[in-house]
Amino acid sequence: MRNKIVALCLLVFLSGCYTDIVDNVVIRESIKIESILIQNGILAKSVKSKDGYTIRVLDKDRLKAISLLSYYELPGKPEIDIQDLFPAGELVSSPFAEKNRLIYGVANNLKKTIETVPGVISASVDLAYATEMKSSANNKASIVIVYQSPLNVDSNFIEQIKAIVVNANPDVSYNNVSVSTFKKQYTPITKDLVNESDTNKYIYILAFLFLTLTISLVVFIYDRKHKKK
């Protein structure tokens, strides 16, 4: 009886040590977040919720986890579906409409492809097409990449990105593709915040010990009275 009560208290205490940092993300996003947190020494777990997945971390890691997610720009912005931009019931089917659908699809796929490159945090792809259907000389592509170390962003990297864009979009010439890159530095949380987190951890530990001792004392007194009867 006593062991069961103590085990139950331990379970309640451990569950209370976790805090939610992200709610309602899709499974692919939850796996990405968990992976990044674990790589940085943070124990994280995802829990299935009604509208997606919830990411939880230990209370002591909450500040560091939030800092890391801000650095990696996670969770990402929800993707806008082409149907939301051009509802089928409101847009008359035409070559212009089909071209806009194609442009959107190509830009979205290019963004996803570039973001798979190790070291790239986020990417933005904008395709500007000439209004005339048969004219492609003025078609342009603008790529913005936010990256981190140790990715080496040199002329060879820029050429590779341009090649990816041109191969996926033959209507844009190599010279009309611009690539802008920005390096993002990770700034760890301050020492004061870490100390505050550690203080909270010790408060939880002391509270748990006090609760365990109190319950153990109550169970001990109850057992003695029960044996006397």
The pLDDT value recorded for residue 227 is 62
Q: Are 177 and 140 in contact, with CB atoms under 8 Å apart?
A: yes
Most confident of 85-99, 118-132, 160-174: 160-174
Q: Measured between alpha carbons, how far is 113 from 170 in angstroms, rounded to an integer? A: 17
- Interval 151-179: pLDDT, tens: 999 999 999 999 999 999 888 999 999 99
Mean pLDDT of 66-70: 92
Checking if the pLDDT of 67 tops 70, the result is yes
Who wins on pLDDT, 58 or 222? Answer: 58
pLDDT of residue 198: 53
| Share above pLDDT 70 across residues of the chain, in percent, rounded to a whole number | 69
> By C-alpha distance, which of 141, 143, 161 is closest to 152?
161
Torsions phi, psi for 218 (to 5 deg): -65, -40
pLDDT at 90: 55
Top pLDDT among 77 and 40 is at: 40
Contact 127, 141 (CB under 8 A): yes
Computed over every residue of the chain, the mean pLDDT equals: 80
C-alpha span between 85 and 47 (Å, rounded): 32
Tokens of 134: 């048969």
pTM of the full structure? 0.67
pLDDT at 190 over 60: no
Residue 109 pLDDT exceeds 60: yes
Q: What is the pLDDT of residue 165?
A: 95
Range name among 17-21, 97-101, 132-136 with the lowest pLDDT average: 132-136
Please report which confidence band the pLDDT of residue 132 belongs to, taking 50, 70 and 90 as the band edges: low
Q: 134 or 69: which carries more pLDDT confidence?
A: 69
CB 210 within 8 A of CB 15: no
The pLDDT of residue 125 is above 70: yes
